[in-house]
Amino acid sequence: MFVARKVASPCFSRILSRDYHKLWRPLKQCCQITRAPSFRDGLDRFNAGTERYTLGFRHTICTSSADHLSWKERWIDSPDSDLVLFPRGYSKAQSSNSHSSSGQSSEGASGSGNDNGDGGDKKDDGAEVVIEDKAGVKVDPAQGALAQVMVPDVFPEVPVLPVHRNPVFPRFVKMMEITDKDLMELIRVKSRLAQPYAGAFLKKEDSNEAEIITSLDDIYQVGSFVQITELYDTGDKIRMVILGHRRIKITDTIEYSPHTEEEKTEPVAAVDLPLDSSSEDTTKEKPILMVRVENVLHEPFKLTDEVKALTAEVIKTIRDIISLNPLYKEFLAQLIEGGKRVADNPVHLADFGAALTSGETQQLQEVFEETKIPVRLRLTLELLKKELAVCLLQQQLGKEVEEKVNKQQKKFLLQEQLKIIKRELGLEKEDKDAVGEKFRERIKDLNVPRHAEEVIEEELTKLAYLDAHSSEFNVTRNYLDWLTSIPWGIHSKENFDISQARQVLDEDHYGLQDIKDRILEFIAVSQLNATVQGKILCFTGPPGVGKTSIARSIARALNRQYFRFSVGGMTDVAEIKGHRRTYIGAMPGKIIQCLKKTRTENPLILIDEVDKIGRGVQGDPASALLELLDPEQNSGFLDHYLDVPVDLSKVLFICTANVTDTIPGALKDRMEIINVSGYVEDEKKAIAKTYLIPQARKSAGITEEQVIIQDPSLALLIKSYCRENGVRNLQKHIEKIFRKAALKIVQGVEGAVEVTTDNLQEYVGKPLFNTDKIYDQTPPGVVMGLAWTSLGGSTLYIETTLKEALSSDEKDARPSLDVTGQLGDVMKESSSIAYTFAKGFLSREDPNNDFFKRASIHLHVPEGATPKDGPSAGCTIITALLSLATNKPVRQNVAMTGEVSLTGKVLPVGGIKEKTIAARRADVSCVILPEGNRKDFADVPEFVKEGLDVHFVSHYDEAYKIAFDS
């Protein structure tokens, strides 16, 4: 528009006040403006935007209603004239009319007088009155730009102000803040044009925080025509107060492109640009800033008894709400002070009641859009009743909390009075004195070391000078609490009776003979020395073999207190050595907490999962364990929180780990490692009968006569379902059997539930493991090996065959060896070594056999989906290759293991016990083991070795003779 785009001056740029109409000088004198046809065509559009101004040229004032010639025609006919813009108040001819309409203007703006809010007056003299919407008051042109003018009845084009959560009801104000540049520029332009009006439309989604909209679907179509009464422009944002006047409805959108004004302080020079020069990019999606609206009038209604009753009930509910919440009372007082008559007008009352509530957005909009006043009153009454219920609940909760607080306050006052009375009578001392005496009483009978006693006395002296309400007092009191909670010099009475200790260990666990013997040795040494000793042990073995549970049995056998904590995944050193006292919420580490809990200096501390300890940004806990688990250092263990040496030399530390490879070398060196191997089938059967079945029967509430598990079914369960080294999985299956048996008993089965080999699948499902024996008769090129897995030992077949027929001509042959079966790097190297050694060995034993010179061999290790690695298959691979080369099968029911060097030396391997168990499970009668494993085989129980023909070899020549001995 012309005024917004071409006329810019300090007078236009300032924030227009309500006294702006008192200025007598013209807004702008536009000299030497071109009279081009394009400019004259735009004057009509310019005239539409200058409703608040008087237009003239030179010093002669003219209006658009001048005689027979319009101001535009007279200006065009006068070549020397200058176009001048004056405020309406400047026209002395119209100043006399401003007086007569000013009273009406202020009344319309403030809502006073007899206005019913919709353009009609209401009188109730007992007769039935019909109230309907009327045309509003006219705008007083004598009031200027932002003066309190009469709001126009029809304002078809308004900017869009999306509001959040609550609609702007007529005669209610709302403060808004906008930061969108386009919307800010539009508001500035409208304010400069003395058109401070907009449309406030409620957003449909409460989560929508956008200040502008891109689609009409984002807002409700019915909103409020608002007047911007106050505007504060800080440049980057605009704060304004809007006042609702009437309801409007969106009929269409208007494309509007904001323009940036050119900031100039001098009068505008001649301009030759046409007014209608818009070159914005219309292809880009633009926000909706302007809409075309129409007024929404309520339907005429009669002031019937129903309306009067609804009005009275609404007033009564509002009165009840105001009596419960003083904030509403203050809000109503402000409305009455502003001259807004609410109580005697149903239209105002419905809007006021709805605005008073905190209803949902959709409910408030429903009230806002309703045009039937009786229905609107009913909707408002519903919201008010809900608000009243919330206020009543709030009052009830407030009373309950107040009563509770008063009760606590009363109790506190009485306690303080009681303290003062006791203090005056000498029955009680000051709080600080009582705290100090409590700490001295704790250490009175303790053998506190001198260095610790000095620290305690120093802290007690400091505590006496501190204020009881200071933060330092609490820190010192907590520190003294921990120092005096350490069991200085207290030991539990040690059990030196070896027979009693053996009985306790055998009651709780079957097998584990190495651990039991080591504990009995520990007791014997303590008995001879007559002193309580500490030791650091580490039990390693697969899961489920009883490493953690036997530690509790050891504590019971030794009559020591038991404390357990796990370091698996621990990444903070402070968990072991404590926090510094400078930190808020600092506390000692686990070891000091153990001493406070057990109240003894010689407990048994189990450090679980020491092989899974972590490392993080807070330090390396494994390094912190070095001081703790070092017998030469833990006699003066220094916790970061206590900062006083504590003797841990009498503590029996037991660590548990599944593997020792992940334990740091320095930490491993400080511990005595005892390997806990898995259980064999006979041991598992004994454990199940002695421990697992009675425990499962007791937990299921079943008597011994109700469920019977036969020995063959138990053996089948162990062999086909629970092959792992431990018994944890076996325990789960036994509990599953008893649960299903309990279900049958409850359903009324007759007689006892008997579990046999035939119906075992009904309780535990299909077998998980099949027989280890793939071949009844091993063909040439196939040999059974022995392997160690996490589930124990297992048999491992090595299969070899020709990839293609042997070449008749040695020159055309391309000998090779391909390996499959997910073999690891170590096992692939063993295959290469075995292939090289087999070629050399065959050339010595049978020089005429040129098999390896003409054969392409494929070596496979079933099962293909299982990864395999390790060096112990070298002896087996060589035997399989020689069997294929000589076309002779090996001895039936033979299994072997051992690593072979390039010169044929058979080296020792690990897992001899597990491999021997696997050989026996596969009905193997002959086992070939390295000579270096003779000592390991001696530790295997006799019932495992029974019936096995074991050969120990130091060179492969010996293994060859045994394997091919028919």
Is 546 annotated to bind a ligand? Reply is yes
Find the distance separating the first CA and the last CA of the chain, reported in whole Å: 114
Tell me, what amino acid is at 332? L
Beta strands in 164-237 (DSSP E): 173-178, 197-202, 222-233
Task: Report d(CA 39, CA 276) in Å as an integer.
Answer: 8
- In this structure, how many other beta carbons lie within 10 angstroms of the beta carbon of residue 714? 22
Structure tokens at 360: 């949902």
> Is 353 one of the annotated binding-site residues?
no
Amino acid identity of residue 813, one-letter, is A
Catalytic pick among 915, 925, 945, 954? 915
Residue bearing tokens 């009543």: 392
CA–centroid distance for 417 within its chain: 48
C-alpha to C-alpha distance for 261 and 508, rounded to whole angstroms: 92
- Say if residue 385 carries a ligand binding annotation: no
Between CA 896 and CA 784 the distance in angstroms is: 7
| CA gap 415, 423 in Å, rounded | 12
Give 777-781's long-range contacts (Cβ < 8 A, gap of 24+): 777/889, 777/892, 778/889, 778/890, 778/892, 779/889, 780/883, 780/884, 780/886, 780/887, 780/888, 780/889, 781/880, 781/881, 781/883, 781/884
Q: Can you list the alpha helix ranges (DSSP code H) found in 805-955?
A: 825-845, 851-854, 874-886, 912-921, 934-938, 942-945
- Residue 541 annotated in ligand binding: yes
| DSSP bridge pairs for 906 | 900
- Report the amino acid identity of residue 656: T
Provide CB contacts within 8 A for 251, sequence distance 6+.
291, 292, 293, 294
Secondary structure, 3-state, 84-129: EEEEHHHCHHHHHHHHHHHHHHHHHHHCCCCCCCCCCCCCCCCCCC
Q: 872 catalytic, yes or no?
A: yes
3-state secondary structure of 733: helix
Pairing mode, if any, of strands 222-233 and 290-295? Answer: unpaired
Q: Which of 872, 883, 888, 966 is catalytic?
A: 872
DSSP state of 933: G
Query: Is 449 annotated to bind ligand?
Result: no
Q: Binding residue per annotation — 547? A: yes
542 labelled ligand-binding: yes
User: Binding site annotation covers 543?
Assistant: yes
Nearest CA-CA partner of 604 in 480, 503, 501: 501
Catalytic (active site) residue 372: no
Pairing of strands 652-657, 604-608: parallel
- List C-alpha distances in Å: 523 to 397, 517, 537: 65, 10, 14
Torsion of CA 45, 46, 47, 48, to 10 degrees: 50
Q: Which of 592, 590, 605 is nearest to 560 (CA)?
A: 605
Q: Which residues contribute to the annotated binding site? A: 541-548
- Residues marked active site are found at 872, 915
Residues making up the annotated binding site for ATP are: 541-548
